[in-house]
């Protein structure tokens, strides 16, 4: 059919790629931002997402900026990068991570990715053989589910126990595993929980995974961002008990999520992942996809080797301070309870008690109204798999946090059920 009436085109976007925005952090946050009152003269307080880089107190170290500038100006890194990453960058990451391991990683164990997000993508794709399933924690960083869904990889959820510092419920892991289960994912330090697992607990997880015949994927994007009694212990420490795939990036520790420089590392001294063909699979996936810009890769050695402890300590001190403020302030708001003081990452999970509130239906409703009335954004727990909880970011300027909680308290008082 032509000219008169609609031209018929052979292509009609079927949208097999369905919008994931319902459950994505970004999608829900956009909806909540959308309900902010534009006529409110007060600044919007963003306590919903994990990116403190806009705040001056969270600016990255000049060492990192210099490294990128030097790399660019050298004009040695304008060419296409090699598929798995520039060798000096892979070496530098292997050395950096090996500092905390009882064995030495080789550069061949390290693959560069576009942020930790791409490391997640590649890992899930490499594991997603037909019929496979993976185990995710509940609550979980929502990207795992979105991406798994888009590649038809079945997901099963095990519980994290709020009464026990958000530790993995080992029994629920065992109950969910069958012969098609290939891996379990842990996020440590925890997003959204703010937990930091002990050596003992991580070892227990490793031994359980080994017994079940599954590998462990450990998301350590918040590596070393701990400010409580438990130090950061990488899962790779137990790499000889169970094969571990370690995901990470410079995004959080260096406060540069926009630079998109991450890694996927095989922490597997017994070479089991290589024998199973998974490493080859990862290499093939990377062959087909984009790579981080070459000059950013070129800056990695300098960034990892030359950043001083003072920069890291400074960041930890601020995080410790704001985590403390956050926990204290939550205690002052009756309708929110926090079972565990945050000890790491940039988030805390707080439980909402709807029975103390008039006319608030659930966590999403709470967040939408909070945004509208007080211009404060927090993430409803449904986005991370726990309805009627809230995920609050404390990685902001301390005054912003104080202000945010002040407004949340006012919101509570306005909506409190009259006795």
Q: Which of residues 347-406 bind other proteins (CB under 8 A)?
A: none
- Per 3-state DSSP, the chain is made up of helix, strand and coil in percentages (nearest 5) of 45, 15, 40
Q: How far apart are CA 23 and CA 146, in angstroms?
A: 7
256 binds other proteins (CB under 8 A): yes
β-pair partners for 276: none
| Minimum distance, C-beta of residue 350 to other proteins, in the bound complex (Å) | 24
Q: Which stretch in 66-74, 93-101, 164-172, 367-375 sits in contact with other proteins by CB under 8 A?
A: 66-74
Strands 167-168 and 154-161: antiparallel
Q: How far apart are CA 198 and CA 291, in angstroms?
A: 34
Q: Are 319 and 225 in contact (CB under 8 A)?
A: yes
| Minimum distance, C-beta of residue 179 to other proteins, in the bound complex (Å) | 6
| Minimum distance, C-beta of residue 327 to other proteins, in the bound complex (Å) | 26
**Residues whose CB is less than 8 angstroms from the CB of residue 52 and which lie 6 or more positions away in sequence, other chains included:** 58, 255, 346, 393, 395, 396
34 binds other proteins (CB under 8 A): no
| Minimum distance, C-beta of residue 193 to other proteins, in the bound complex (Å) | 21
| Minimum distance, C-beta of residue 126 to other proteins, in the bound complex (Å) | 6
Of 323, 48, 364, nearest in space to 194 by CA: 323
Q: Please, which residue, 183 or 352, has the CB nearer to other proteins?
A: 183
Q: Please, which residue, 31 or 409, has the CB nearer to other proteins?
A: 31
210 binds other proteins (CB under 8 A): yes
- Site residues for other proteins, 157-196, by CB under 8 A, read 179-183
Q: Please, which residue, 23 or 388, has the CB nearer to other proteins?
A: 23
Q: Which residue has the tokens 């990377």?
A: 286
What is the full DSSP assignment across 351-394?
EE-GGGBSS--SHHHHHHHHHHHH-EE-EEGGGGT-TTEEEEE-
Q: Please, which residue, 166 or 222, has the CB nearer to other proteins?
A: 222
Instruction: With H, G, I as helix, E, B as strand and everything else as coil, classify residue 3.
Output: coil
| Minimum distance, C-beta of residue 117 to other proteins, in the bound complex (Å) | 6
- Site residues for other proteins, 125-164, by CB under 8 A, read 125-130, 132, 146-147, 150
Q: Please, which residue, 21 or 337, has the CB nearer to other proteins?
A: 21
Here the tokens at position 123 are: 């890992």
- Site residues for other proteins, 259-278, by CB under 8 A, read 259-260, 272, 276-278
75 binds other proteins (CB under 8 A): yes
Q: How far apart are CA 78 and CA 414, in angstroms?
A: 57
Among 137, 236, 293, 301, binds other proteins (CB under 8 A): 293
Among 77, 157, 232, 311, binds other proteins (CB under 8 A): 77
Q: Are 98 and 104 in contact (CB under 8 A)?
A: yes
Q: How far apart are CA 102 and CA 367, in angstroms?
A: 45
Maximum Cα interatomic distance, the chain, rounded to a whole number of Å: 74
Instruction: With H, G, I as helix, E, B as strand and everything else as coil, classify residue 167.
Output: strand
| Minimum distance, C-beta of residue 4 to other proteins, in the bound complex (Å) | 15
Among 32, 51, 145, 237, binds other proteins (CB under 8 A): 51
Q: Please, which residue, 60 or 340, has the CB nearer to other proteins?
A: 60
8 binds other proteins (CB under 8 A): yes
Among 3, 4, 5, 10, binds other proteins (CB under 8 A): 10
């Amino acid at each position: 059919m032509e000219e008169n009436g609609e031209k018929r085109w052979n292509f009609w976007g079927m949208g097999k790629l369905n919008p994931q925005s319902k459950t994505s952090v970004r999608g829900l946050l956009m909806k909540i931002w959308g309900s902010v009152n534009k006529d409110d003269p007060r600044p919007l307080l963003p306590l919903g997402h994990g990116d403190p880089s806009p705040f001056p107190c969270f600016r990255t170290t000049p060492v990192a900026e210099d490294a990128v500038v030097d790399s660019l100006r050298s004009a040695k890194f304008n060419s296409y990068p090699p598929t798995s990453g520039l060798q000096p960058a892979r070496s530098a990451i292997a050395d950096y991570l090996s500092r905390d391991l009882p064995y030495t990683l080789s550069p061949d164990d390290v693959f560069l990715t576009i942020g930790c997000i791409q490391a997640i993508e590649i890992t899930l794709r490499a594991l997603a053989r037909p019929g496979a399933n993976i185990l995710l924690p509940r609550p979980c960083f929502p990207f795992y589910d979105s991406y798994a869904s888009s590649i038809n990889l079945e997901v099963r959820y095990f519980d994290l126990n709020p009464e026990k510092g958000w530790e993995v419920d080992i029994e629920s892991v065992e109950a969910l595993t069958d012969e098609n289960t290939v891996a379990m994912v842990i996020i440590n330090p925890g997003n959204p929980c703010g937990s930091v697992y002990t050596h003992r607990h991580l070892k227990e997880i490793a031994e359980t995974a080994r017994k079940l015949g599954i590998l462990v994927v450990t998301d350590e994007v918040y590596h070393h961002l701990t400010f409580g009694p438990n130090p950061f212990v990488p899962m790779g420490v137990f790499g000889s008990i169970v094969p571990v795939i370690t995901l990470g990036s410079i995004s959080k520790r260096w406060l540069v999520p926009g630079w998109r420089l991450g890694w996927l590392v095989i922490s597997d001294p017994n070479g089991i992942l290589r024998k199973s063909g998974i490493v080859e699979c990862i290499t093939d996936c990377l062959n087909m996809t984009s790579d981080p810009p070459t000059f950013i890769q070129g800056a990695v050695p300098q960034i990892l080797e030359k950043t001083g402890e003072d920069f890291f300590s400074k960041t930890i001190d601020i995080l410790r301070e704001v985590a403390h403020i956050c926990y204290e302030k939550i205690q002052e708001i009756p309708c929110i309870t926090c079972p565990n003081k945050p000890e790491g990452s940039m988030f805390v999970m707080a439980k909402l008690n709807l029975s103390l509130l008039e006319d608030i239906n659930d966590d999403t409703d709470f967040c939408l109204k909070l945004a509208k009335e007080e211009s404060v954004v927090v993430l409803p727990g449904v986005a991370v798999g726990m309805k009627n909880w809230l995920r609050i970011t404390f990685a902001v300027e301390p005054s912003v946090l104080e202000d945010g909680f002040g407004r949340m308290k006012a919101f509570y008082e306005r909506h409190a059920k009259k006795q």
